[in-house]
Amino acid sequence: MDSTDISDLFVIGGGINGCGIARDAAGRGLTVRLAEMNDLASATSSASTKLFHGGLRYLEYFEFRLVREALIERETLLRAMPHISWPLRFVLPYTADMRFESDTPTSKLMGVVMPWMKGRRPSWLIRMGLAMYDNLGGRKILPGTSTVNLKNDIAGLPLKERFDKAYEYSDCWVQDSRLVALNARDAAERGAKIMTRTKVIEAQRGDGVWEITTEGPEGKQTFRARALVNAGGPWVEQVINQRIHDNTREGVRLVKGSHIVTRKLFEHDKCYFFQGTDGRIIFAIPYEEDFTLIGTTDAVHEDPDQKPEISDEERDYLLAFVSQYFREPVRQEDIVWTYSGVRPLYDDGAKSATAATRDYVIKLHSESGAPYINIFGGKITTYRRLAESALERLGEVRDMGAPWTAGVPLPGGDFPVNGVDKLIADLVARYDFLDERWAKRLVRAYGMDAWKILGEASEVGDLGQDFGHTLTETEVRWLMKYEFARSADDVLWRRGKLGLRLSQEEAGRLDAFMVDNADRLEAAE
């Protein structure tokens, strides 16, 4: 069925950039539609290292604007989503004999000015970089850098004896795919139409508006919009060439980043920032209570339609990398899960994937009175600013309203940054059938909405079918109604990470329940 009404904005792509733009635009009073060909956050936005940070290593590439904007955003986002994000302390072990093969602008300059330092990041250079990191973004919430004696600090226990000194600094964690779902939900509550599993197959200008043809659960449809946003992520260039049929020379560089999740490698809640002899860095991060997340790699990825998967070489690289630091070697049998994502970086002509810019690039095309923009690159940390910038660019040719998202909490996030422990205690006190671990999972996923999900329940049986590991029918119905979940994978790997715990049989039972109830939900709507 064709739709004849004209919306103000049509967004292609349900990753963090697309959903962030849809939320911002809907909050400005614009009529918005968003089409995502799969589930929300089904590609890059659920396959990150789960950090929102300034990007310490980007200082070596002199990307000061990007780092400053990201550092400022860290604390803006912490206030807006204290349930799905939280501060972390990162430990950067250091020894004077560490050498690196690096082609960053900083290392090249060092090699010219002080050739005896070639292949090293001297202590003073690291400390100077961390001092910039502490102050570039006007930090107010997060503690600054300190020096750690690894011989008497818990962070030194899992490390090799040769590491006796470290620098410790602050950055933040975020549940990346939950961030996308909450932006989509907020956009919908502000009037946006979010269409998942709906693929854009054609977008053409006509009579000063866009005509967009989609293929989805309701068959083929045509929508009209005054402006178009191409936030296709890894498919951004494909949308330009095959859907919009534009001959622009703008291009994307696809870079695969792979991660491994292992058994828990250390008992404390600090993270590690490890420097490799090849000049790269990786993180080792406490993950989902019982695991350790290690990543990431940088590898060229040619085809966005090819599912990214970790290669044997990447797996072995990460294992060897962290084993240079940990007392106990990390082996293949320690791995419980792997995942890979594709970063759609703007093709700036950099020689290597590692050196390619991580900054976002927004390109406006306003010919024929029907503007559209292409979004390249971007980081989770700067998604809100990217959305503001995108609407500002469109505002050059159409009124887009005033920005409003800074400091406005996402659904469930209207409580203080340091209020999580109290919320967990309050939830356990209200629902005495919860243990602390279950309550923590709910608060960390839903914040204040945990009370809405549990409702008037007085015992576990009131929550309906039990799918295992504290996942109940009541929670699944909430995810289907408010967060666009339609399959077991949506729930287990993108609205949360209970896929690490549920068995195949439990996941199959969940999927069958969702298929049956999705039909009923759609009929009710």
Q: What is the dihedral of CA 378, 244, 30, 35, to 10 degrees?
A: -70
pLDDT of amino acid 125: 82
Distance of CA 474 to the CA centre of its chain: 26
pLDDT of amino acid 289: 95
Do residue 268 and residue 335 come from a single domain?
yes
pLDDT of amino acid 4: 56
Domains in the chain, number: 3
pLDDT of amino acid 117: 37
Do residue 104 and residue 164 come from a single domain?
yes
223 occurs within a structural domain = yes
Element (H, E) at 130: helix 123-135
Do residue 424 and residue 512 come from a single domain?
yes
Do residue 182 and residue 311 come from a single domain?
no
pLDDT tens per residue across span 255-310: 999 999 999 999 999 999 999 888 889 999 999 999 999 999 999 999 999 999 99
Do residue 193 and residue 275 come from a single domain?
no
Rounded-to-integer distance, Cα 167 and Cα 226, Å: 51
Do residue 427 and residue 503 come from a single domain?
yes
- 0.85 exceeded by pTM: yes
pLDDT of amino acid 53: 85
pLDDT of amino acid 101: 55
Q: What is the CATH number of the domain that holds 97?
A: 3.30.9.10
pLDDT of amino acid 355: 58
Do residue 320 and residue 278 come from a single domain?
yes
452 occurs within a structural domain = yes
Rounded-to-integer distance, Cα 166 and Cα 92, Å: 5
Do residue 361 and residue 236 come from a single domain?
yes
pLDDT of amino acid 81: 97
Which residues does the chain have with pLDDT short of 50? 1-3, 106-119, 524
13 occurs within a structural domain = yes
Provide the domain limits for residue 237.
Answer: 6-45+177-251+357-394
Rounded-to-integer distance, Cα 198 and Cα 181, Å: 16
405 occurs within a structural domain = no
Do residue 365 and residue 238 come from a single domain?
yes
Contact call for residues 231 and 244 (beta carbons, < 8 A): no
Write phi, then psi, for 291 (nearest 5 degrees): -135, 175
Do residue 148 and residue 259 come from a single domain?
yes
Do residue 167 and residue 207 come from a single domain?
no
**Paired residues of 288 in beta bridges:** none
DSSP string, 309-366: ---HHHHHHHHHHHHTTBSSPP-GGGEEEEEEEEEEEE----SSTTTS--S-EEEEE-
Q: Give the closest residue to 192 by CA, choosing from 36, 414, 406.
A: 36
Helix (H, G, I), strand (E, B) or coil at 487: coil
Q: Give the closest residue to 292 by CA, choosing from 320, 334, 258.
A: 334
Quick one: 13 exposed, middle or buried, by C-beta within 10 A (0-12, 13-18, 19+)?
buried
Helix (H, G, I), strand (E, B) or coil at 301: coil
